[in-house]
Amino acid sequence: MRVFAASMKHESHSFCASRTDIDAFRRRDYVVGAAIPKRFRGTRTEWGAAFDAADEYGWELIHPLAAAAVPAGVVTRDAFEHLSEVILTGLKDATSVDGILLILHGAMIAEAFDDAEGELLCRVRKLVGWDIAIAITLDMHANVTDDMARHCNILSTYRTTPHVDLYETGMRAARLLHRAMMGEVRPRVVVARRAMLDLDEGRTIGPNAPMPEVLRIADQAEKTIPGVLAVSVQAGYPWANIAQAGTSVAVTGDGYQARYIELAERLMDECWKRRHISTINLMPLDSAIAAIKAHEAKRGGPLLVGDFTDCPAGGAAGDGTNLLKAMLDGGINDAALGFINDLAAVEVGKAAGVGATITVKLGGKCDPDFGGDPLEITGRVLHLSDGNYVRKGPMATGTPGSLGPTMTIDVHGIRVVVCSHSHAVDDREQFRTAGIDPDRERILACKAMNHFRADFEPVASGLIYVDSGGVCSTDYGRFPFTKLRRPMSPIDFN
């Protein structure tokens, strides 16, 4: 069997001032041809699963492109067309294939294409026809559209947030794809939605979270309803100004049957009943500073302070300064903060060298209305690095990452990690490459939402979240949606 595989992943924030060009992909992941197995084989990722499946089933795996960029603003049309062309050219050059595996995100928006993944799938389907099975993997924060469901045969979504099941998601898709290629099943996908924008960020850690409850019902249905091959529940990506944004349920079934649609609708009813539940408690800045001060006398691992609304994992620029300013104004003087995205500040630090005292205007350059204005600071350069690391935590284990050239600067006792590539905190190795041992810090402030919990929380003594005014605000009424279907919960009603 000859299987074509490619990845194109981005989570696009409609209201972020930046645009995501091809260089943003090159900074994160832009791997082609023979370099792909060298990069991903043996990792706990969808690609790692694809190579293991190829070994298990004896596939010839054709893989022209693995591309991903850090969540940010809408993808430029040039970048989308370039990535699509590399994938489609690779598919044409393959001449004939027995199956297709596409590793996607599900919340990618491009200039001129609100549904970028749906557009790519339409082009792929037009090229190969309807007899070739197409399997796709998606992030749990996907906005699954009608075109995505129509043009794929198999849909497999993460079931954990933090996303520690990338490998399992890829293997589930690969196994169903093999069954389809062998003629054992004829999979099709149906999707259901409601007028709800989000389901508790899809969080699966913590008591009383709605997503695990819905997933338990989905797992039972998958085991007991004849013909159901996979059930995927997507929390949705709420900062997408597109018509079909929001929570969804996708059922992959053997052929088309009314019971698959009934199951998707029933599970969406379960999501709808839980739309009011939120396990996210974002503190205002003054309350967060008070909590930090109260924690300082306690022993144990670090107190994690998640700067939720300025997190690049959700599409923010990660250059907000409001949290750092509040910590300085509040007299916090024994803490580490990562990461503020500011290449210009790093360049000043590199020119001065380790040990030098420098004054820079830090951050606030992308969109000061969200997250704070540039903050003038004076501090001593503690560490300089290339920002490269390999993940050792449970999420995407074994994959390389880069913060770009990085500076750690001491500002009145706060060790601030300044990076050149926007990136969320998600692995302790990121701090270690910046010269900080995160396990030994008392206060660890992180531009982070959910993913850092997988690696950091086991060694932490506590966790609080703060609303620093960033563009990933959970007050969705702040954003000028123009294409979203309305009315929509929670913007128009509860």
For 118-157, write each residue's pLDDT tens digit.
999 999 999 999 999 999 999 999 999 999 999 999 999 9
Angle, nearest 10°, between helix axes 285-295 and 322-329?
A: 50
Strand 2-9 and strand 60-62: pairing?
parallel
Q: Are residues 362 and 456 in the same domain?
A: yes
Half-sphere exposure for 342 (CA within 13 Å, toward CB)? 29
Cβ neighbors of 413 (< 8 A, separation 6 or more) are 332, 333, 334, 335
**Same-domain check for residues 351 and 254:** no
The residue among 244, 273, 302 that closes a domain is: 273
pLDDT of residue 418: 98
400 with 449, same domain: the answer is yes
Number of domains in the chain: 2
Per residue in 449-491, pLDDT (tens digit) is: 999 999 999 999 999 999 999 999 999 999 999 999 999 999 9
Residue 493 domain-assigned? no
The answer to whether the CB of 7 falls within 8 A of the CB of 46 is yes
Q: CA–CA separation, 118 vs 109, rounded Å?
A: 10
The residues facing 376 across adjacent strands are 361
For residues 237 and 314, give the distance between their C-alpha atoms in angstroms, rounded to a whole number. Answer: 9
Given 273, 308, 331, which residue is the final one in a domain?
Answer: 273
- DSSP SS3 for 108: coil
Q: What is the pLDDT of residue 299?
A: 63
Residue type, 483: K
- Of the three residues 273, 294, 316, the one that is the final residue of a domain is 273
Distance CA 71, CA 314 (A): 6
Same-domain status, 243 and 344:
no
pLDDT of residue 349: 98
Asked if 118 and 192 sit in the same domain, the reply is: yes
- Say whether pLDDT at 165 is over 80: yes
Band (171; pLDDT cuts 50, 70, 90): very high
The maximal CA–CA distance of the chain, rounded, in angstroms, is 69
Asked whether residue 491 is domain-assigned, the answer is no
What is the identity of the amino acid at 362?
Answer: L
Place of tokens 């960020």: 201
Does an H or E element contain 89, and which?
Answer: helix 77-93
Which residues are 228's β-sheet partners? 253
Give the single-character DSSP code of 397.
Answer: T
- 361 and 450 together in one domain: yes
- Note whether residue 482 is domain-resident: no
Residue whose tokens read 């104004």: 329
Residue 416 lies in a domain: yes
Answer yes or no: do 198 and 52 share one domain. Answer: yes
The predicted-structure confidence for 102-119, as pLDDT tens digits, reads as follows 999 999 999 999 999 999
Task: Round to whole Å and give the CA distance between 14 and 47.
Answer: 28
- Residue 188's beta-bridge partner residues? 253
Q: Judge whether 486 lies within some domain.
A: no
Looking at the fold, whether 338 and 267 belong to one and the same domain comes out as no
Residue type, 146: D
Tell me the per-residue pLDDT of 199-223, one tens digit each, with 9 for 90 and over: 999 999 877 899 999 999 999 999 9
Shared-domain flag, residues 267 and 388: no
User: 442 and 324 in one domain?
Assistant: yes
**pTM (predicted TM-score):** 0.96
Predicted local confidence at residue 207, as pLDDT? 74
pLDDT of residue 296: 66
Structural domain boundaries, residue 420:
282-473
SS3 state of residue 28: helix
Residue 492 lies in a domain: no
**Angle formed by the axes of helices 77-93 and 116-128, nearest 10°:** 20
pLDDT value for 38: 97
Helix axes 46-57, 166-181, angle to 10 degrees: 40
297 assigned to some structural domain: yes
Output the pLDDT for position 205: 87
Q: What is the rounded (10 degree) CA torsion for 245, 316, 25, 6?
A: -30
Q: Which residues, other chains included, contact 320 with Cβ-Cβ below 8 Å and sequence gap of 6+?
A: 307, 309, 310, 340, 363, 364, 370, 371, 372, 447, 468, 469, 470
Average model confidence (pLDDT) across the chain: 97
Note whether 319 and 256 are same-domain residues.
no
Token pair listed for 311: 């997190």
CA distance 25 to 20: 8
Co-location of 292 and 268 in the same domain: no
Instruction: Tally Cβ neighbours within 10 Å of residue 125.
Output: 17
Residue 297's pLDDT is 57
| H-run or E-run covering 137 | strand 133-138
Contact yes or no for 270/213 (Cβ under 8 A) = yes
Q: How far apart are CA 477 and CA 482, in angstroms?
A: 12
What gap in Å lies between CA 126 and CA 210, rounded to an integer? 38
Is residue 487 reached through a cis peptide bond, with omega within 30 degrees of 0 on the bond before it?
Answer: yes
The Cα-based distances of 356 to 151, 381, 387, 416 in angstroms read: 57, 6, 20, 15
Residue 118 lies in a domain: yes
